[in-house]
Amino acid sequence: MQELSPDALTRGHLERAAASDGRSAATVHGGHERTLCRTLLALTVGTSLAEHDRPGGATLLVLRGRVRLTSGDASREGRTGDLVTVPPARHALEAPEDASALPTVAGEG
């Protein structure tokens, strides 16, 4: 059994993100070879993830700050503690302020 501190991971990854291109991420459970994958994602203010596809189901738990998920003409803002459902369509993510989130993705395994 492995225990992780989302708070400690967030602090570390926001520091890494600030020292690089504004983004830092690490898989904390699963991976491409598994059916379930959780990745801690940290974004500094103004940073975004370009539009991309994600087959399978996905959610985004906002651990700190605020993020904006857009898909087509629709957008949804998530704040600390919010659980956002990721649409099964092309989507993008941006950080209006320093933020961290825990995307959980179900794939084919």
- Return the pLDDT at 2: 66
Give the C-alpha distances (Å, rounded to integers) separating 30 from 36, 81, 99: 6, 22, 22
- Return the pLDDT at 32: 63
Cβ neighbours of residue 1 under 8 Å, at least 6 residues apart? none
This prediction's pTM: 0.86
Query: What residue spans define the domains of the chain?
Result: 6-106
- Return the pLDDT at 91: 93
Tens-digit pLDDT profile for the chain (109 aa)? 567 788 898 999 999 999 999 999 998 888 666 678 889 999 999 999 999 887 678 999 999 999 999 999 999 999 999 999 998 889 999 999 999 999 998 875 4
Pick the CATH number of 6-106 from 3.40.50.2300, 3.30.1330.10, 2.60.120.10, 3.30.70.20: 2.60.120.10
- Return the pLDDT at 109: 47
